[in-house]
Amino acid sequence: MAKLDRSTMIRLLAIALTTALLLLPLLLQAEQAAEEAEPLPAPPLELDTEVTVFTPLVTSEALAPGGTVPLVEAPPVVDGVGVIGHLLPEAPGALDEHEVSSSEPALDVPTVVTAPADPIVPPPTTQLSVTLDWYLNPQHATLLIAREKGMFLRRGLDVSLIVPADPNVSAKLLAAGRTDLALGRQTQLHLLVDSGMPLVRIATLIAAPVSGLMLRANADTEKQELAVEGMRIGYTDVDGRDAMLQSVLSELLGTANGLDLVELKDTNYAMLDAMRAQDVDGMMMHHRYLLPRQLADEGILTHTLPIEEFGLPLHDGLILMANRDQLNGKRDALRRFVSALEEAALWIVNHPLEAWALLEKAEPALADPINREAWAGISPRFSLQPAAVDKGRYLRLEQYLLDAGIIEVPTPLERLAIDLGAAVP
């Protein structure tokens, strides 16, 4: 038989002691009732049956004298663990009263969902409108890629691209506050600021010139033999006439008054119609990777003189302009906008074929041989750092225009171009 340990023996003794203390009053009461009870009458003597009389059972409900049930007083209630509690060993891991009261209340965790979760509210977006310099073409690829790849949307921007009915009004709409941004050229910016328009360059989309003088193919191709004097030359805007065309003619004719030696014609972007109708012998154009091939498909052969090879300093071919007077309230949104352009330009360089396929899908009008051929010449010219300003480039062009008498007063660099990502001094 297994030997009982000390703890078990103490528990058994405590239980026996408690039972004895509780039964002692009952036993005393039963003994007193037995003494006072009257004996039962004996059966008649004539009965032969032997009767055995048992001692009457006395329970806790036996009546006391007077017919009332005696009251049994219970031990008084003692605060704390009491005598027996002190005799019992402490259970392992038990918490005392202080520990229980000081424990943190349990969290009320719901177990059943009775209503659907609140819908996720998308973050607010900032709307920006961009007025283009002409109809959509491969030169606008960074804008289109940023839109189609969700680069604008991820930055909280809702960008709308607007094709103007007249490209000459884009800058005017920007100066009037009727659009947030407008595309243009660096040469155009210098002349517009000189005329008093509150415009400033905030990004460069194409970092190399894309303009050129397009002449009919019957003209000699050698620079020194080009007989441009007396030709009818068309132009589309002021900077194309006063800055670009004057620079080329001065180089070709060896005189600063080259514009006086040709017949000028304002075609107002109806360049193809003017060449088809033979109204002009040449055009100063800003899309030299598009128009010559388009005319060639129609049987009109041309020869193009790149603008940067005829005296005009290197400049940005396509820039993004903002209204300087309305810039403060839009700086954060414009920074995000330019950041999306930077991401798009890098993606184009890394995936030129995939980028063109995406452009054709987004804008089916681009899916033709003319634009595909132009893509090969335009895609390497996209600026990989659209926010950065080439300060020397802007200062050189400003000085050239001043020396040529095209502008009257030099404009400080910070009023011509800014880098939104640079720290303000």
Q: Answer whether 126-208+314-415 and 212-309 agree in fold.
A: yes
Say how far apart CA 340 and CA 150 lie, in whole Å: 9
CATH for 126-208+314-415 (3.20.20.450, 3.40.50.300, 3.90.226.10, 3.40.190.10): 3.40.190.10
165-194: per-residue pLDDT in tens? 999 999 999 999 999 999 999 999 999 999
Compute CA distances 97 → 82, 158, 310, 320, 373, whole Å.
14, 63, 97, 75, 87
Total length of the chain: 425
What pLDDT is recorded for position 225? 57
Mean pLDDT of 356-381: 96
pLDDT category of residue 257 using cuts at 50, 70 and 90: confident
Question: Confidence band (pLDDT; 50, 70, 90) for 269?
Answer: confident
CATH class of the domain at 212-309: alpha beta
pLDDT for residue 28: 72
Strand-pair partners of 306: 212
Question: Residue 26 above 90 pLDDT?
Answer: no
Using N-to-C axis directions, what is the helix angle for 352-362 and 141-148, rounded to 10°?
A: 80
CB distance 226 to 219 below 8 Å = yes
**What are the residue ranges spanned by the domains of the chain?**
126-208+314-415, 212-309
Predicted local distance difference test score (pLDDT) of residue 12: 79
pLDDT value for 422: 75
Residue listed under structure tokens 């080329």: 248
> How far apart are alpha carbons 401 and 410 in whole angstroms?
9
Q: Of 116-130, 152-166, 220-234, which range is least confident?
A: 220-234
Amino acid 37 reads A
The whole-number average pLDDT for the span 369-382 is 96
Q: Crossing angle for the helix pair 186-194 and 391-403, nearest 10 degrees? A: 60
Both tokens assigned to 399:
């000085």
**Contact at 8 Å (CB) between 26 and 74?**
no
Name the residue with higher pLDDT: 332 or 217: 332
Indicate the pLDDT class of residue 40, thresholds 50, 70 and 90: low
- Output b/e per residue, 205-222; b: 16+ Cβ within 10 A: bbbbbbbbbbbbeebeee
- Tell me the per-residue pLDDT of 308-335, one tens digit each, with 9 for 90 and over: 999 999 999 999 999 999 999 899 999 9
Range in 7-11, 113-117, 270-274, 399-403 with the lowest mean pLDDT: 113-117
Lowest mean pLDDT among 11-15, 58-62, 262-266: 58-62
Radius of gyration for the alpha carbons in the chain, expressed in angstroms and rounded: 51
- Vertex 274 angle, CA 268 and 276, to 5°: 150
* Residues 364, 286: Cα–Cα separation, whole Å: 23
Q: Is the pTM of this model over 0.75?
A: no
Q: Which amino acid is at 71?
A: L
Using alpha carbons, select from 319, 293, 294, 288 the residue that is nearest to residue 306. 288
Give the residue among 285, 252, 249, 251 at the shortest CA–CA distance from 267. 285
- Tokens standing for residue 88: 């019992």
DSSP 44: P
User: How far is residue 53 CA from its own chain's centroid?
Assistant: 103
Does residue 8 register a pLDDT over 80? no
pLDDT at 111 over 80: no
Q: Which single residue is written with the structure tokens 């409900």?
A: 61
Query: What pLDDT is attached to residue 16?
Result: 78
Cβ–Cβ < 8 Å for 289, 372:
no
Q: At what angle do helices 352-362 and 369-378 cross, to 10 degrees?
A: 140
HSE of 47 in the Cβ direction (CA atoms, 13 Å)?
A: 6
